[in-house]
Amino acid sequence: MKSRTEADKKAAMNKLADEFETGVKGIVQTVSSASTQMQATAKSMSATAEETNRLGQTIGRVNEIAAPDQKASEEFLDHRDSHWEDSDVRRYSLLI
């Protein structure tokens, strides 16, 4: 009877250890999967940030190139408006 009780205790402990191990393995797999997903997201976000930075630099260069043309266009329009007050001249210039 004593050996039966000892065997039952040992079996119960082994079952408990197996259940614990199964639970820990499930947690480790979940954490590992989440870690992999987070790493992929971080890489994607980093690539997006690099692309955004590159596009920002490109836009900055385009603005530097376009700024003189924009200023020249504004100066032309100011000049036209200040010298062509006559409505007939303005109407003619708009037709062209």
Cβ(90)–Cβ(84) below 8 Å: yes
Residue 9: domain span = 2-95
Q: How many domains does the chain have?
A: 1
HSE, side-chain direction, 13 A CA sphere, residue 5: 2
User: Could you tell me which of 59, 93, 88, 91 has the C-alpha nearest to residue 76?
Assistant: 93
Element (H, E) at 23: helix 2-83
Does residue 31 register a pLDDT over 90?
Answer: yes
Residue 20 pLDDT? 96
Does residue 3 register a pLDDT over 70?
Answer: yes
Residue 67 pLDDT? 72
Total-model pTM? 0.50
Average pLDDT score over residue span 49-75: 82
Residue 64 pLDDT? 79
More confident residue, 26 or 96: 26
